[in-house]
Amino acid sequence: MRVSGRRLIGGTIAALTTATLAISGIAPTAYAETPTLNLLSLYHTSGNTPEAEAMKLLISKFEAASGAKVNLVEGTASNLATQYNSDLLAGKAADVMMVNLFDATSAWLDNGAAVPVGDYIKQWGLTSKIQKTAIADWTSKDGLVQGFPFAGFTWPVWYNKALLAKAGVSKVPQTSDELIAAAKKLTAKGIAPIVVGGSDWSGNKLWTQIVEQFMTPTEAKKVLSSGGFCKSPAAMKGINEFVKLRDGGVFVKGIEGYTADQMNTAYYTGKAAIMPAGSWAMPNTPPAIAKVTEMGGMPVAKGAYYKKPTAFSAYSAVGLFVGPAGLKRLSLVKQFVQTLYSPEVVAKFVSDVAIVPGTNTPLTASSLANASPLLAQSVTKLPSKVDYALFPDAYVGAHGTPLTKASALAFGKGVSAARICAAADNAYKN
Amino acid sequence: MKSKKDGSIVFAIPALIWYLAFMFGPLLAMFFISTLKWTFIIAKPEFLGIGNYLALFESEEFYTSLANTLVLVCTLVPVMIPLSFMVAYYLSQKPRGHRFLRVLMFTPGLISLSATAMVFFAVLTPTGLLNGVLQNLGFGEQTNAWLGSADTALLSIWFVNLWQGVGYTAVLLSARIEGVPQEIFEAARIDGANHRTMMWRITWPIIKDYLGTVSMLQFLWTIFGGAGLIILLTGGGPGFSTTTLGVLVYQKAFLEPRLGYSQAAAVVLFAVGIIGMLLIRRLFKNKEN
């Protein structure tokens, strides 16, 4: 078949335009009419994603039970909120959104882009099925439940016991001084001590974890919500402790330039002995490294508010928001939530995605171990070893980006505590 | 009598409509949005007057961003243009393999921003190529987190911009130099002019107008387009050490988000752009004109 030059050019332009619009998100997402449930989701069914099979199970079970179809639109963490906001303004928004709770999505309730679900939890008999702490994590400052909690995480500190032993460190450090001593031994053997993405969110979480250690949860909430690091003696103690650790050589050289991906690589390949990482990193851990990994917490200083090393745990990884469009299909939303909370679906997400469920679904040791022996360890053994520090995201909100830049500065050589606290406070100005 | 120009407006109408709709409209919107207190795009905006500007002028991040922008522009363009000019002059002499050299020089201009960022991330990261080379040459103590350290991050961005711009600009300039009548160079050679004289005292003045245009393009790229590279490589950090006004506009609009404040910063960036263009125009204006 012969294609004329003009037609070819026209076709190419049309294809490029369509692709450009699709990539840029300019084209409004098309959702079909009822009886279809329009779902915008961080979890995908396509590609080689760990959650693909679990999502397929969820959708097929829902479709079989309801007779309705799911129109799934997949998004990513970086663009899903923007995509939904654009769709909403265009009048083409999804009914329900499976997404993480962070500053952009936590603004949905205040701006009418999502509806509170506290009453539905009661009316649909879900109160006993959802963990109270999970509901608390999804409750806004005004006391409204923002969405149905689903997936949580643990965020411990990983210790490669084989590398510690090679350096002559017999047990996982419990205090800052023990950590500094262990780091010296590791460095002397050419092993990097703690690796973390000093330039990104992973470093920011570790920095916050260390800074929080002298603060009561109430004070931490206050400082993380509105700043005031320099004026808070407890926060300053924490920042000084961070400087002490950094200058004591507990971090890998060049830490300020590392990213979370590089952190994972360094730990997975046995080049670094310690890393703070969430449960989502557990299924990808090479078995040889998982075998020698002990989950613990970040050591604390003497006099800290927390008496044990600290870790994070929260239920904000993924939940289900209901948009205004979902109110028109409330019976379908109800069925979808019930399917989502069914033991079979929860178990599949645990085994495939290594989530810590926000439901009260009983999990057997074998189902956890199937997901990852590290997940099993961090769910069963970790709680007795650590204190859980306040997870900052709900309080930091929109200040997260500038605060991450401040913590990135903190990882730099020779940066003083005064400069760090000023940079952190600056993140809250304006 | 009917002027010759009367009919020409008809042909300009489509372009004018396009310009008004897609250039002038967003420009007005930028000024208008800068007067609003507007967080998320789905939130209801409130009129704030000059509140965003007052907040901007009181903030440390603004002055740091402005300083970083000026440092980048005021050091990069004056280095890049003479360097590109020297390369361009060499290329215009058509040395052996000049065609291959031209392609090589132009290559950075053909690489997408994200690919450029990936390449330089791999070079400048703590476990990257540069530190590897330093380590192997016995300069292990000099290794650094080039993009992560507040002392070297902006300098690293500067070098990446230079790498990206020199070859591309040189190819543009060499095309212009080749358009200069050869008789001028031949006459200069007969008069005993060496390459240095021909470069700086003959070629430079002849193509001065074009150098002004290229400088202006490079200036505009650095203050507006350059933000993309910074966002990909450092995100404006650590601290505010690589945050330029362009990066600040992006961060306040998309990450924090404060649309009104972001557009107030965009208005200042716009003003910096206009002032810079006027200065460059004045600097490269031929006296005869």
| Tokens 């649909």 found at | A124
Distance from CA of A401 to the nearest CA of B (A): 7
Distance from CA of A261 to the nearest CA of B (A): 12
A200 vs B contacts (CB less than 8 Å): 235
Chain B positions contacting chain A at CB under 8 Å are: 39-44, 55-56, 58-61, 124-127, 131, 143-151, 234-241, 243, 251, 254-258, 261
**Cβ-defined contact of A402 to B251 (cutoff 8 Å):** yes
Q: Which of A85, A112, A415 has its CB closest to that of B41?
A: A85
**pLDDT computed for residue B286 by the predictor:** 65
Nearest chain A residue to B240 by CA distance is: A405
**pLDDT computed for residue B6 by the predictor:** 62
Residue B27, classed as helix, strand or coil, is helix
How many angstroms separate the CA atoms of A32 and A34, rounded? 7
Q: Which of B39, B42, B125 has its CB closest to that of A257?
A: B125
Nearest chain A residue to B151 by CA distance is: A412
Per-residue pLDDT of chain A (430 residues; tens, 9 = 90+): 344 444 444 444 444 444 444 444 444 455 555 589 999 999 999 877 888 999 999 999 999 999 999 999 999 887 898 899 999 988 899 999 999 998 788 889 988 999 999 999 999 999 999 999 999 999 988 899 999 999 999 999 999 999 999 999 999 999 999 999 999 999 999 999 999 999 999 999 999 999 999 999 999 999 999 999 999 999 999 999 999 999 999 999 989 989 999 999 999 999 999 999 999 899 889 999 999 999 999 999 999 999 999 999 999 999 999 999 999 999 999 999 999 999 999 989 988 888 999 998 777 666 677 778 898 899 889 999 999 999 998 888 878 888 998 999 999 989 999 999 999 998 887 5
Are A393 and A314 contacting, i.e. CB atoms less than 8 angstroms apart?
yes
Q: What letter would DSSP give residue A280?
A: G
A259 vs B contacts (CB less than 8 Å): 125
Nearest chain A residue to B144 by CA distance is: A254
Pair type for strands A387-388 and A310-322: parallel
Q: What are phi and psi of A301, to 5 degrees?
A: -85, 165
CA geometry: angle at A148 spanning A143 and A153, to 5°? Answer: 100
**pLDDT computed for residue B238 by the predictor:** 87
Radius of gyration (C-alpha) of chain B in whole angstroms: 23
**Cβ-defined contact of A408 to B238 (cutoff 8 Å):** yes
B239 vs A contacts (CB less than 8 Å): 405-406, 408-409, 423
Are A59 and A72 contacting, i.e. CB atoms less than 8 angstroms apart?
yes
**Cβ-defined contact of A409 to B234 (cutoff 8 Å):** no
**Cβ-defined contact of B125 to A262 (cutoff 8 Å):** yes
Query: How many Cβ atoms from other residues are within 10 Å of residue A48's Cβ?
Result: 6
Question: Which H, E and C letters describe B80-124, residue by residue?
Answer: HHHHHHHHHHHHHCCCCCHHHHHHHHHHHHHCCHHHHHHHHHHHH
CA-to-CA separations, B106 to B9, B90, B93, B153, B274, in angstroms, rounded: 37, 15, 17, 26, 28
Structure-block tokens of residue B209: 């107008």
How many angstroms separate the CA atoms of B213 and A105, rounded? 45
A216: alpha, beta or left, given left = phi > 0 and alpha = psi -120 to 50? beta
Nearest chain B residue to A114 by CA distance is: B42
Distance from CA of A53 to the nearest CA of B (A): 32
Are A214 and A237 contacting, i.e. CB atoms less than 8 angstroms apart?
yes
Per-residue pLDDT of chain B (289 residues; tens, 9 = 90+): 455 556 677 888 888 888 888 888 889 999 999 999 988 788 888 998 999 999 999 888 899 999 999 999 999 999 999 999 999 999 999 889 888 998 888 888 888 999 999 999 999 998 899 999 999 999 988 888 899 888 899 999 999 999 999 998 999 999 999 999 999 999 999 999 899 999 999 999 999 999 999 999 999 999 988 899 999 999 898 888 999 999 999 999 888 878 999 999 999 999 999 999 999 999 887 655 4
Are A37 and A70 contacting, i.e. CB atoms less than 8 angstroms apart?
yes
CA-to-CA separations, B206 to A264, B185, B202, B219, B279, in angstroms, rounded: 57, 11, 6, 21, 20
CA atoms within 13 A on the CB side of A369: 5
A108 vs B contacts (CB less than 8 Å): 42
**Cβ-defined contact of B256 to A399 (cutoff 8 Å):** yes
**Cβ-defined contact of B41 to A409 (cutoff 8 Å):** no
**pLDDT computed for residue A4 by the predictor:** 46
**pLDDT computed for residue A14 by the predictor:** 45
Are B247 and B66 contacting, i.e. CB atoms less than 8 angstroms apart?
no
B41 vs A contacts (CB less than 8 Å): 82, 85-86, 89
**Cβ-defined contact of A256 to B258 (cutoff 8 Å):** no
How many angstroms separate the CA atoms of A414 and A196, rounded? 18
**pLDDT computed for residue A20 by the predictor:** 44
Distance from CA of A94 to the nearest CA of B (A): 15
**Cβ-defined contact of A255 to B235 (cutoff 8 Å):** no
Nearest chain B residue to A429 by CA distance is: B59
Mutation site for A-interface testing, chosen from B41, B42, B52, B249 by largest number of A Cβ within 10 Å: B42
Best CA proximity match to A388, nearest among A311, A315, A306, A304: A311
How many angstroms separate the CA atoms of A317 and A281, rounded? 13
Distance from CA of A428 to the nearest CA of B (A): 11
Distance from CA of A258 to the nearest CA of B (A): 7
Distance from CA of A207 to the nearest CA of B (A): 14
**Cβ-defined contact of A198 to B258 (cutoff 8 Å):** no
Are A195 and A256 contacting, i.e. CB atoms less than 8 angstroms apart?
no
H or E stretch covering A294 = strand A293-296
ipTM of the complex: 0.74
Nearest chain A residue to B56 by CA distance is: A430
**pLDDT computed for residue B5 by the predictor:** 58
| Tokens 């099993």 found at | A376
**pLDDT computed for residue B287 by the predictor:** 58
